[in-house]
């Protein structure tokens, strides 16, 4: 007999060799997928040979989901190798929401994916036992002789001559540490979702692989909830809505990752910029404008060139110089060398706005009385993202930051960081983005990685910490996440679907003032170095609008709506009145469209609803004679006979307060 102690303190006496799974079933009932013996995760089938502590890994715990998802990956590999005998499994880890497995094989169609999933379900029905075996190095190498990937894993991961465990289910065997569920019948709530390409070892010089993704949960409800969420996310996808609602366009002829803002999308951006601009003026910012390019020397001084040139568009060279170099027979690589060494100059599409703003600062002498100086610009910058990474408005090659640079004294850091934070709070509040969190990036252990004195850092870190705390939202402090030049605050918004979006940041900087030798005259008459704060709390207008499109599912609040009012006439008799109403609204600055076509009113409503105006006005005999309007909101609720003046006053109130609710119909009821 041996003694097994459970987490609640109970001790079970059992015969030697009874499996962990049997004891767990007695003690906890059903639901376990693996066991923990003396703190080590293992299979439920593990026999208990001596006294130990024992706990279960329940399917619904994080560890349990890990086991289920990992077991699903094996199931996937078994199904793939049955259907495609030449496919070579490489690695297949569990991931958030599910699992993937990478295979060396030909491309797969949707139909192939469906067949693989069907095969997986067939294997589940077969209820194959999943068993662990220990093998020595020689036998492992024989087992996986025809799979060079597994051999490479053994070469890398196993000590010379060391053996390892494998897991077997039916004729499928995989090199693996486990643990796994006891049999394939434990796997129910999974679904294959997509395929993509991958490289062995994530190295583009190595073999091309096919990656198959799946999701897996412990319960049917969880799987269904995830499916619903993905469907809803697809409906809100800003790339789809951006096209349907004509908000932006990306054109191959213009270039990948370069967003073209269409008239309707430009309205949203302009309204946002106006809104942010109002608060910047309130906070004492000064507007500046700077060009889209700057000399390489500027970026050599800032440090952006040549160190970050992989993430920049290549430099531009002046025409005369180019001609001279061509005459000299200069090759491209020589040209790039000369530029790197600083022997010839050129221009860079700006990767950052800071150097330009810094030169505005240094164009005048400053005293402590001038500080803080706050320069704001919706400044467009260009970065070279790999083409595989580009996506819609959220990963682009040119974008406009809601940028600003603050030049402050040491003592002003805390208050200015607080000001940046207050701006975020106000703007998120108006947009109804109440669910966000903040990350404060602090220094790590290795102080040699950071510029600036330690006491200054302490103070700046304190300032960031207390500014973050003042928001009253969750915040985390992350050591080692500061930039080398100063601590920072990042904003992460959670949207209605629970997805997180990293937006912008506030960063304290001790480095650039040093590199550009910035100074101000202190009260003591001495020269002092200012500190810079970079802040772009919403990141970029592209990313922020992309997130907003998904956040509102394209149903923007009235103040942001590309078109606020669509006027629909019932017949041609009402065209004059419609035009009159439209003119009055335009005089008030309302964005309005009139549909006076001969289509039926039902058809007009259906067509215009697709563009999501805030309200539709339906105008017929009754409205025209009594100078009223009939208002219809997005939910299809309608109110009739509203006096025109009354409607306009309430509409203007809704717009000017930047209300996020559509109040007009209910309010006037």
**Closest distance of CB 42 from Zn ion, Å:** 14
Active-site choice (78, 169, 312, 401) = 401
401 is catalytic: yes
8 Å CB contact between 399 and 380:
yes
The distance from CA 32 to its chain's CA centroid, rounded to whole angstroms, is 34
In angstroms, the CA 141 to CA 143 distance is 5
Instruction: For Zn ion, give the closer residue by CB, 286 or 386.
Output: 286
User: Least Å distance between CB 512 and Zn ion?
Assistant: 8
Smaller CB separation from Zn ion, 488 or 534? 534
> Is position 216 annotated as part of the catalytic site?
no
Q: Are 623 and 630 in contact (CB under 8 A)?
A: yes
Task: Return the beta strands (E) in 322-363 as ranges.
Answer: 347-349
In the complex, least distance from residue 25 CB atom to Zn ion, rounded to whole angstroms: 24
Runs of H (alpha helix) within 29-147 = 62-83, 110-126, 137-143
- Residue 534 among the catalytic residues: yes
CA distance 353 to 512: 12
Q: Encode burial over 315-348: b for 16+ CB neighbours within 10 A, e otherwise.
A: bebeeeeeeebeeeebeeeebeebbeeeebbbbb
403 is catalytic: yes
Least distance (Å) between residue 501 CB and Zn ion: 21
Query: Residue 303 CB, nearest distance to Zn ion (Å)?
Result: 12
Catalytic site residue from 354, 420, 464, 545 = 354
Strand-pair category, 436-442 with 475-479: parallel
Q: How far apart are CA 387 and CA 400, in angstroms?
A: 19
Report the nearest approach of Zn ion to the CB of residue 176 (Å).
Answer: 3
Residues 279 and 427: beta-carbon distance below 8 Å = yes
Q: Which residues bind Zn ion (CB under 5 A)?
A: 176, 354, 534
- The residue (of 41 and 176) whose beta carbon lies closer to Zn ion is 176
- Is residue 210 within a helix (H) or strand (E), and if so which, with residue range? strand 208-216
Residue 354 or 655: which CB sits closer to Zn ion?
354
SS (H, E, C) 498-549: CCEEEEEEEEEECHHHHHCCCCEECCCCCEECCEEEEEECCCEHHHHHHHHH
Catalytic hit among 201, 211, 383, 395: 383
Shortest Cβ 92–Zn ion spacing (Å): 7
Comparison of 93 and 589: residue with beta carbon closer to Zn ion: 93
Nearer CB in complex with Zn ion: 8/96: 96
Q: How far is CA 462 from CA 265, 425, 456, 488, 529, in A?
A: 40, 20, 10, 11, 20
Smallest distance, Zn ion to C-beta of residue 487, A: 15
Give the residue with the Cβ less far from Zn ion, 175 or 617.
175
Longest dimension (CA), the chain: 97
For residues 360 and 238, what is the distance between their CA atoms, to the nearest angstrom? Answer: 37
Q: Are 303 and 518 in contact (CB under 8 A)?
A: no
For strand 436-442 and strand 88-89, is the pairing parallel, antiparallel, or unpaired? unpaired
Catalytic residue (one of 69, 70, 488, 566) = 488
Interatomic CA distance for residues 483 and 508, integer angstroms: 9
190/615 with CB nearer Zn ion: 190
- Is 354 noted as a catalytic residue in this protein? yes
Please name which of 396, 409, 481 lies closest in space to residue 438, comparing C-alpha atoms.
Answer: 481
Which residue in 88, 180, 405, 465 is the catalytic one? 405
Closest contact distance (angstroms) between CB of 350 and Zn ion is 11
Element (H, E) at 362: helix 354-362
Q: Of 71 and 309, which has the nearer Cβ to Zn ion?
A: 71
Active site residues: 354, 383, 401, 403, 405, 488, 534
């Amino acid at each position: 007999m041996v003694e097994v102690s459970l987490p609640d303190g109970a001790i079970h006496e059992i015969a030697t060799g009874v499996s962990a799974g049997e004891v767990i079933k007695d003690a906890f009932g059903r639901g376990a997928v693996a066991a923990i013996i003396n703190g080590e995760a293992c299979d439920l089938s593990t026999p208990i040979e001596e006294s130990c502590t024992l706990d279960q890994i329940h399917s619904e715990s994080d560890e349990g989901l890990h086991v289920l998802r990992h077991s699903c990956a094996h199931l996937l590999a078994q199904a793939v190798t049955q259907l495609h005998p030449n496919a070579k499994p490489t690695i297949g880890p569990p991931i958030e929401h599910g699992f993937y497995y990478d295979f060396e094989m030909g491309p797969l169609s949707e139909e192939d994916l469906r067949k693989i999933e069907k095969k997986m379900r067939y294997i589940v029905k077969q209820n194959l036992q999943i068993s662990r075996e220990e093998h020595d190095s020689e036998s492992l190498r024989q087992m996986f002789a025809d799979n060079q990937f597994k051999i490479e894993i053994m070469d890398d991961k196993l000590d010379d001559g060391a053996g390892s465990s494998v897991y077997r289910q039916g004729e499928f065997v995989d090199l693996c540490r486990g643990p796994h569920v006891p049999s394939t019948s434990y796997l129910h709530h999974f679904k294959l979702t997509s395929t993509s390409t991958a490289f062995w070892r994530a190295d583009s010089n190595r073999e091309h692989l096919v990656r198959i993704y799946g999701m897996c949960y412990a319960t049917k409800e969880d799987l269904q909830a995830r499916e619903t969420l993905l469907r809803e996310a697809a409906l809100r996808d800003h790339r789809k809505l951006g096209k349907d609602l004509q908000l932006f366009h990306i054109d191959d002829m213009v270039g990948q990752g370069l967003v073209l803002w269409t008239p309707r999308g430009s309205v949203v951006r302009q309204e946002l910029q106006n809104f942010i601009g109002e608060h910047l003026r309130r906070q004492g910012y000064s507007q500046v404008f700077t060009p889209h390019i700057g000399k390489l020397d500027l970026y050599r001084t800032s440090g952006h060139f040549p160190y970050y040139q992989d993430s920049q568009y290549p430099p531009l060279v002046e025409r005369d110089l180019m001609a001279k170099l061509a005459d000299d027979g200069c090759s491209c690589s020589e040209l790039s060398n000369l530029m790197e060494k600083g022997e010839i100059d050129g221009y860079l599409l700006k990767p950052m706005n800071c150097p330009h703003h810094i030169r505005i600062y240094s164009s005048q002498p400053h005293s402590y009385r001038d500080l803080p100086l706050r320069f704001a610009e919706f400044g467009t910058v260009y970065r070279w993202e790999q083409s595989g990474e580009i996506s819609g408005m959220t990963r682009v090659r040119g974008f406009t930051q809601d940028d600003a640079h603050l030049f402050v004294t040491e003592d002003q850091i805390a208050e200015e960081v607080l000001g940046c934070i207050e701006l975020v709070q106000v703007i998120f509040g108006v947009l109804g983005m109440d669910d966000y969190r903040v990350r404060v990036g602090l220094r790590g252990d290795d102080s040699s990685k950071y510029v600036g004195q330690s006491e200054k850092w302490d103070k700046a870190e304190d300032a960031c910490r207390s500014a973050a705390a003042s928001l009253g939202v969750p915040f985390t402090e992350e050591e080692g996440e500061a930039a080398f030049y100063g601590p920072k605050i990042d904003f992460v918004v959670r949207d209605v679907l629970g997805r997180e979006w990293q937006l912008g940041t506030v960063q304290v900087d001790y480095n650039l003032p040093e590199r550009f030798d910035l100074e101000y005259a202190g009260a003591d008459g001495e020269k002092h170095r200012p500190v810079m704060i970079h802040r772009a709390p919403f990141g970029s207008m592209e990313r922020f609008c992309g997130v907003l499109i998904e956040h509102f599912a394209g149903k923007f609040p009235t103040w942001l709506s590309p078109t606020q009012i669509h006027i629909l006439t019932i017949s041609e008799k009402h065209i004059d009145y419609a035009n009159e109403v439209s003119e009055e609204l335009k005089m008030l600055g309302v964005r309005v469209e009139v549909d006076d076509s001969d289509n039926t009113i039902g058809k007009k409503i259906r067509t215009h609803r697709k563009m999501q105006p805030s309200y539709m006005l339906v105008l017929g005999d009754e409205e025209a004679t009594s100078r009223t309007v009939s208002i219809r909101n997005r939910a299809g609720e309608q109110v009739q006979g509203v006096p025109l003046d009354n409607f306009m006053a309430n509409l203007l109130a809704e717009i000017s307060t930047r209300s996020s609710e559509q109040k007009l119909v209910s309010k006037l009821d």
